């Protein structure tokens, strides 16, 4: 017998803005969210101000109970059990669900993963699609099991990646796209019209958790790879290099760059800075990228063309 979504007891698990968009869509569509599990408040910025997760903000706005366990140990499982969930919906929660949690809801647990599984299983699928220079990505709605993104697929849909799209832009596009796909999928799932499909594990690929050090640029890399790194890490950690400023190595954050392609002067070395057509470029392994906006350690971000007014020796020097 088909399930009535208004009578369902749904527990939502998620943390970032991407998840908050989907939680809002579920609430607006009439799903009964009886509890929200999210990451605890984080200290942000130089003043280390405590900030609520976007999901918590949405939940509190709608009067939904919020739970922020540090780990899903026995106490947290009992809290979840007390909610008597029919269904768990998880989107970028940031924690792996133990089997004890997966066994609780009678309809199972559903995960929304922003990649075309089994491609890019793991915690950073959007960044890894950009790093790989993919032209197509998508969203997978799947039933969860004890593995990492290995559950049976309920539905999957593609979406194009624009050539200059950054993580921020692609994540925003995918959040709305994923919310629509989830609502369509739930309609079919609750009506018993969707047959879950096994994943082909032999074609699986995995992505790792992004670290701050991943933003370091290797100027021996190609211009395209450096540009894709900029796109992937636009939100965090950004991309950076170092420059010998007044005899001291200082970090330079590249806030905005462009893909130039070929460097007409092959004699230049990777990392060498040069000026061309009133723009500031950096030589790479096979061409160049353009510096539009940069930030020297301890200084505000400025346009690269303005930066050289205060640092005349920047042109002709080398980034490391």
222-249: burial string, b at 16+ Cβ within 10 Å, e else: ebebbbbbbbbbbeeeebbbebebeeee
Look at residue 20 and give its three-state secondary structure.
Answer: helix
- Scan for tokens 């596009």, then name that residue: 173
Residue 181 near residue 145, CB atoms below 8 Å: no
State whether 12 and 148 are in the same domain: yes
State the CATH number of the domain containing residue 295.
3.10.25.10
Evaluate the CA torsion angle 19, 42, 37, 73 in order and state its sign.
positive
State whether 74 and 192 are in the same domain: yes
Q: Give pLDDT tens digits for 133-150.
A: 999 999 999 999 999 999
> pLDDT value at position 4?
83
- Identify the domain boundary among 203, 223, 249: 203
CA distances from 111 to 52, 59, 117 (A): 22, 19, 12
- Scan for tokens 């009067």, then name that residue: 63
Angle at 21 between CA 64 and CA 97, to 5 degrees: 65
CA distances from 65 to 24, 41, 172 (A): 15, 15, 26
What percent of the chain is modeled with pLDDT above 90?
89
Average pLDDT, the chain: 95
State whether 157 and 228 are in the same domain: no
What percent of the chain is modeled with pLDDT above 70?
99
- Identify the domain boundary among 167, 182, 203: 203
State whether 67 and 114 are in the same domain: yes
Report the candidate in 75, 74, 113 with the shortest Cα–Cα distance to residue 93: 113
**Within a domain: residue 320?**
no
Report the candidate in 308, 309, 248 with the shortest Cα–Cα distance to residue 282: 308
Number of domains in the chain: 2
State whether 10 and 85 are in the same domain: yes
Quick check: 21 pLDDT over 90?
A: yes
- Identify the domain boundary among 179, 203, 227: 203
State whether 79 and 219 are in the same domain: no
Give alpha helix (H) positions in the chain: 17-28, 54-61, 74-82, 99-102, 125-131, 167-190, 223-232, 304-310
State whether 181 and 292 are in the same domain: no
State the CATH number of the domain containing residue 151.
3.40.50.170
State whether 52 and 182 are in the same domain: yes
**Within a domain: residue 190?**
yes
State whether 43 and 172 are in the same domain: yes
Q: Give pLDDT tens digits for 255-279.
A: 999 999 777 777 899 999 999 888 9
**Within a domain: residue 188?**
yes
State whether 183 and 304 are in the same domain: no
Q: Give pLDDT tens digits for 51-108.
A: 999 999 999 999 999 999 999 999 999 999 999 999 999 999 989 999 999 999 999 9
State whether 216 and 199 are in the same domain: no
The stretch 144-159 carries a mean pLDDT of 97
Angle between helix 54-61 and 17-28 (nearest 10): 20
> pLDDT value at position 5?
85
State whether 305 and 283 are in the same domain: yes
Domain that holds residue 222: 212-314
**Within a domain: residue 319?**
no
Q: In which band, very low, low, confident or very high, does the pLDDT at 1 lie, cut at 50, 70 and 90?
A: low
pTM, rounded to two decimals: 0.95
Query: Which residues, in sequence order, are CB contacts of 39 under 8 Å at separation 6+?
Result: 15, 53, 68, 93, 94, 95
């Amino acid at each position: 017998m088909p399930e009535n979504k208004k009578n369902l007891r749904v527990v939502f698990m998620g943390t970032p803005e991407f998840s908050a968009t989907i939680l809002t869509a579920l609430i607006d569509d009439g799903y009964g969210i009886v509890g929200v599990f999210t990451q605890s408040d984080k200290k942000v910025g130089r003043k280390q101000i405590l900030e609520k997760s976007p999901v918590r903000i949405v939940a509190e706005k709608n009067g939904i109970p919020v739970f922020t366990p540090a780990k899903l140990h026995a106490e947290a499982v009992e809290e979840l059990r007390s909610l008597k969930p029919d269904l768990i919906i998880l989107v970028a929660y940031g924690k792996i669900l133990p089997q004890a949690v997966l066994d609780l809801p009678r309809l199972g647990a559903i995960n929304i993963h922003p990649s075309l599984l089994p491609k890019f299983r793991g915690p950073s699928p959007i960044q890894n699609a950009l790093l790989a220079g993919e032209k197509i990505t998508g969203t997978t709605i799947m039933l969860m099991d004890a593995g990492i993104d290995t559950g049976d697929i309920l539905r999957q849909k593609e979406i194009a990646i624009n050539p200059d799209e950054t993580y921020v832009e692609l994540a925003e596009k995918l959040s709305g796209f994923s919310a629509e796909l989830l609502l369509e999928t739930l309609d079919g799932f609750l009506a018993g019209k969707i047959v879950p499909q096994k994943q082909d594990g032999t074609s699986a690929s995995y992505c790792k958790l992004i670290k701050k050090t991943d933003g370091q640029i290797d100027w021996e890399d190609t211009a395209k790879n450096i540009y894709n790194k900029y796109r992937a890490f636009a939100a965090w950690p950004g991309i950076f290099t170092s420059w010998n400023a007044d005899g001291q190595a200082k970090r330079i954050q590249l806030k905005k760059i462009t893909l130039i392609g070929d460097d007409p002067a092959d004699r230049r070395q990777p990392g060498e800075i040069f000026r061309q057509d009133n723009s500031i470029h950096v030589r790479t392994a096979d061409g160049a990228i353009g510096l539009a906006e940069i930030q020297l350690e301890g200084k505000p971000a400025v346009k690269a063309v303005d930066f050289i007014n205060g640092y005349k020796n920047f042109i002709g020097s080398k980034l490391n």
